[in-house]
Amino acid sequence: MNTNTAMGASWTRALPRPGWPGGLPRGGWAALALAAAVAGAGVPLAHLALPEGHALHVSAYTVSLAGKILCYMTVAVAMDLVWGYAGILSLGHGLFFALGGYAFGMYLMRQIGRDGSYGADLPDFMVFLDWQELPWFWAGSDSFPWAVFLAMALPGAVAFAFGWFAFRSRIKGVYFSIITQALTYAAMLLFFRNETGFGGNNGFTDFKRILGFDITAPSTRAVLFALSAALLAASLLLGRYLTGARFGRVLTAIRDAESRAMFIGYNPLYYKLFIWTLSAVLCGLAGALYVPQVGIINPSEMSPANSIEIAVWVAVGGRGTLAGAVLGAGIVNLAKSFFTVTVPEYWPFFLGGLFIAVTLWLPDGVAGLWRRWRGGKTPKPRAATAARP
């Protein structure tokens, strides 16, 4: 077995079996809900209502950074649903995130109108390339409801089509991971080309408005932050419901013993395909909220390295624990913000070292470490078998 195959195998075996749905007891979910409510309402209020000199004032930079991390946390939850609970290691989730961002970015580009550098109705990059009209796939891109729908439908359609063929062919393990990585790399190369109509290397940027409001206004940033927090909360609640219901038990049964699940009458194709497509849709929505907060979307978001980093978030937090995925995304991205500002050249080494440390000494991630520190053990889960339908 070569090095890459060994790495893939180590990531896909010995997946944890959480004792509580989502990896938290009832009291933990209540605390998490309270924290989400405080963050979703408190941060915007502290940004808008308190003057800049106040000790509790939250700056525009902090609001944008926190909003971006909230979007990453939603992506981590989506990744944990397919990796932690279905045993499907994807190295292409960055593609779904970027597709959602591009879908909504098209709307933001249309909202610039004649305020662009060339004062034309077309986006600046199209004027620069001497395009005379919008491509056919830009039709309806000036509609906000269509943009939101497209941010969900496009990643969902790509995931459904890919998953249908992959899962029907029973591709799994390291082979599935490599194919998803190749898919996102191919998409990145495609979007780098100017003739595709997505801005080439520069992508979409210089946004002005959203629904008629100034995109850089404090109130707009506060609303985007609150929406990001709401999306994360909704993703966690949906994930908890699915993993705690019969669907989740069947999914973990397929993860642990797919042949046995098939023997008792369950078709893994439909369970895998549903959770895979749902995960892509959540990533697309996160990407749609990410773009107006950071002000740019370009093909680098589809980089295979970004998709690998998403897997690192979940591994650090703890696979099979939705709350752990959120925690891992927060830890890694806060560390990234610190390192890229102070010592950017050391960030890749820190990230690699962190993943190695988690793999060797924290197989259950930070969530597992927290449980051990509390001195209690996770309740013994029921056997991951499904009842006859």
Alpha-carbon gap, residue 226 to 58, rounded angstroms = 14
Instruction: Report the pLDDT value the prediction gives residue 50, as an integer from 0 to 100.
Output: 85
* CA atoms within 13 Å, Cβ hemisphere of 267: 7
Alpha-carbon gap, residue 278 to 266, rounded angstroms = 19
| CA trace torsion 34, 37, 39, 42 (10° rounding) | -120
Instruction: Report the pLDDT value the prediction gives residue 27, as an integer from 0 to 100.
Output: 53
Alpha-carbon gap, residue 167 to 181, rounded angstroms = 16
Whole-model pTM over 0.75: yes
Instruction: Report the pLDDT value the prediction gives residue 31, as an integer from 0 to 100.
Output: 66
Instruction: Report the pLDDT value the prediction gives residue 386, as an integer from 0 to 100.
Output: 42
Instruction: Report the pLDDT value the prediction gives residue 4, as an integer from 0 to 100.
Output: 43
Taking Cα atoms as reference points, which of 305, 304, 351 lies closest to residue 328? 351
Instruction: Report the pLDDT value the prediction gives residue 88, as an integer from 0 to 100.
Output: 95
* CA atoms within 13 Å, Cβ hemisphere of 205: 10
Alpha-carbon gap, residue 110 to 92, rounded angstroms = 28
Q: Count other Cβ atoms within 10 Å, centred on residue 9.
A: 12
End-to-end Cα spacing for the chain: 39
Residues whose CB is less than 8 angstroms from the CB of residue 226 and which lie 6 or more positions away in sequence, other chains included: 40, 41, 44
Name 214's bridge partners. Answer: 209
| Cα–Cα distances in angstroms (integers) from residue 274 to residues 251, 282, 360, 362, in the given order | 10, 12, 32, 30
Q: Are 385 and 260 in contact (CB under 8 A)?
A: yes
Q: Over the chain (389 residues), what is each successive 10-residue block's mean pLDDT?
A: 41 43 57 70 84 86 93 96 95 96 96 89 91 93 96 97 95 94 96 93 94 93 94 92 93 92 92 97 97 95 94 92 91 92 89 87 82 58 43
* CA atoms within 13 Å, Cβ hemisphere of 122: 15
Question: What amino acid occupies position 66?
Answer: A
Q: Are 321 and 22 in contact (CB under 8 A)?
A: yes
Q: What is the DSSP string of 56-107?
A: T---HHHHHHHHHHHHHHHHHHHHHHHHTTT----S-HHHHHHHHHHHHHHH
Domain ranges of the chain: 21-373
Q: Are 240 and 32 in contact (CB under 8 A)?
A: no
Instruction: Report the pLDDT value the prediction gives residue 40, as an integer from 0 to 100.
Output: 75
CATH class of the region 21-373: mainly alpha
